[in-house]
Structure 1
Amino acid sequence: MAINRVAASRGFGWYAEGWSAFREAMGSWVLAAVGYLLIMLVLNFLPLLGPIVGAMIGPGLLAGFLVMARAARGAEEVRAGMLFRGLSNGDTRGPLLVLGAVALAGTLLAGLILVYTSTGEIAPGGAGTGTPQTGGAMPAASASLGGIIGAVLVALLVTFALLFAIPLVTFQDMDPATAMRQSFMASIRNLAPVLLFLVLYLILGFIAMIPVGLGFLVLLPVGAAAAYQGYREIFPEPAPAD
């Protein structure tokens, strides 16, 4: 499969395209974002299984946002119900759940790296006095620099593998292993724009958290539409069958 190389500045330009798609159907986009956030919130409140299920279905729900972005780009009606298109489609449900399992494994691995490279220390009760509070000193753990770097690298590699794998599975019926390989290769080939895209998302994510997280009602749709634009530029549209 051909993989295009784009300019580094496109990592920023994709957001402009994403914002344009969002403006065309704000109501549907926001409603879909509310649905996504509510689902994840409820699952995170369920002990043990909830977060696991959330990680597993995450790529499937993100695929729904990409379906909405594709509709917007094609001047079709954008509907909030498209959020569930990836998981409701029997052809894409299984592959998207496999990608979810990879995302879950990556999260667990990054967490284990942080846990096993943490350094146990004794936290004094009186800051700057060296005198523990009544009841004794409290043990505290802080991750080592090497552990933080290792966890970040794992998260980055998993992100490279999944970023374009989700649309490749959703729109090109590609098997998960091939899709992840193609996504990773595309991310490395377009390292500058992809890293710019991810760094901008982190910065915007911090800003989105300020008004009680309400900014994600905009950032989720805009980010998904931006990711779809990146996918379309890096992976040429398949030629129609004769």
Structure 2
Amino acid sequence: MNEQDNNPYQAPEADIQTPENEGELLATPNTVPIGRGFTWLEKGISNTLKPQIGMWMLIGLVYVIISLVLNFIPIINMIVPTLLAPVFAAGLALGAHRVYTGEKLEIGQLFAGFSLPQSSQLFLFGLITIVVYIALFMLMFAFVGFDFITLMMSGDDPDPAVISSMMGKFILLIPLGLIAGVIFLLALWFPPTLIGLHGISAMQALKLGFKGATKNIGAVVVFLLMLIVLGIAVGIIFALLMGIIGFISQTMALVLMFIIMIPLALLAVGFWAGTTYHAYRDIFIGEE
């Protein structure tokens, strides 16, 4: 037995069974028209979420409960959710594929990633994500943190020059943070789906996913803008309803808030799984 046989982070060498009708992974990701960003949103809702909306809500409920439990546990809430996120995402991608092929979605779909031969690569990608988070935090801390600690530990009145310097750094940090956030999103969006559906290694998925996302930055921007517009529209409608009903009864308005917000929160998991899956097929399979 050689040393690689015991390496849990090595990509599986055995033939991975690609899900039925999944299609071949393109060696070079497609470049799609920017309007496809809207198509991903539309297909995610109509083709993935709508056909089995009740089961997606149940899956969303399970995910919300798990997330709440993990986030209430000290120390664990800083590591485990991020470590498990790619495994859950892979299971949801497999669920979206089941809907795409006309199969019945099951409530256990959320946990499907744990039973995959390539699950170690999903955990490794989660670990990579944690390392990147820590690196970004340390860079931010190095940029503004030392002056802040000096200011807090001095016990004297704040030096106006130090405060002015810190404000300048914070202002500069805003655009830098936005740029880093976009790069982070582009890098992390597709790898769990690529690992889950094609069994490639975490590093391969990271490189291929980032390449596919950056090649289609226009469509990604349209997609994100549509999400913002959709969120604003829902918020305005919700605020109007709450305002009108609030004049009649504040209790009724509170009940309405729960009736509307809870289902929307539960559907967010299926919505994101569907839009991600159709974006993935468009860019990496070329069969949308």
Specify the TM-score bucket, using the shorter chain as the normaliser: 0.7 to 0.9
Paired with 1:203 and 1:84, the residues of 2 have a C-alpha distance of: 32
- For 2:45, the aligned partner's letter is W
The answer to whether structure 1 residue 51 and structure 2 residue 100 are counterparts is no
Q: Structure 1 residues 84 and 202 mapped into 2: Cα distance closer, same or farther (>3 Å)?
A: farther
Deviation (angstroms), 1:50: 2.4
Cα deviation 1:116-155 (Å, max 9, x = unaligned): 44475xxxxxxxxxxxxxxxx99x9877122233333333
Q: Structure 1 residues 77 and 197 mapped into 2: Cα distance closer, same or farther (>3 Å)?
A: same
- 1:24 maps to 51
Cα deviation 1:176-220 (Å, max 9, x = unaligned): 111110111111110111222234445656768995763321222
- 1:151 maps to 177
Query: Aligned-pair RMSD on alpha carbons?
Result: 3.1
- For 1:31, the aligned partner's letter is L
Cα deviation 1:76-105 (Å, max 9, x = unaligned): 10112111101222x121111111112222
**Aligned partner (choices 260, 263, 273) of residue 224 of structure 1:** 273
- 1:196 maps to 222
Paired with 2:137 and 2:86, the residues of 1 have a C-alpha distance of: 20
Higher strand share: 1
Superposition TM-score, scaled by structure 2 size: 0.68
- 2:195 maps to 169
C-alpha contact (below 8 Å) 2:91/2:196 kept by paired residues: no
Could you say what secondary structure the match of 2:74 adopts? Answer: coil
C-alpha contact (below 8 Å) 1:117/1:146 kept by paired residues: no
- For 1:218, the aligned partner's letter is L
Gaps of 5+ in 1: 121-136
Paired with 2:266 and 2:141, the residues of 1 have a C-alpha distance of: 32
Gaps of 5+ in 2: 1-26, 149-156, 240-256
- 1:108 maps to 134
Q: Structure 1 residues 204 and 107 mapped into 2: Cα distance closer, same or farther (>3 Å)?
A: farther
Tell me which of the two structures has the higher relative contact order, counting C-alpha pairs closer than 8 angstroms and 6 or more residues apart. 2
Cα deviation 1:37-58 (Å, max 9, x = unaligned): 2111111111112230010001
Paired with 1:113 and 1:62, the residues of 2 have a C-alpha distance of: 28
Could you say what secondary structure the match of 1:11 adopts? Answer: helix
Q: Say which is worse superposed, 6-15 or 154-163, in terms of deviation.
A: 154-163
Could you say what secondary structure the match of 2:103 adopts? Answer: coil
- For 2:220, the aligned partner's letter is V
Higher helix share: 2
Q: Between Structure 1 and Structure 2, whose CA radius of gyration is higher?
A: 2
C-alpha contact (below 8 Å) 1:63/1:167 kept by paired residues: yes
**Aligned partner (choices 116, 119, 124) of residue 98 of structure 1:** 124
- For 1:12, the aligned partner's letter is F
Q: Structure 1 residues 42 and 204 mapped into 2: Cα distance closer, same or farther (>3 Å)?
A: farther
**Aligned partner (choices 12, 34, 37) of residue 64 of structure 2:** 37
Q: Say which is worse superposed, 195-204 or 96-105, in terms of deviation.
A: 195-204
Deviation (angstroms), 1:74: 0.4
Paired with 2:125 and 2:228, the residues of 1 have a C-alpha distance of: 22
- For 2:175, the aligned partner's letter is I
Could you say what secondary structure the match of 2:118 adopts? Answer: helix
Could you say what secondary structure the match of 2:56 adopts? Answer: helix
Deviation (angstroms), 1:4: 1.0
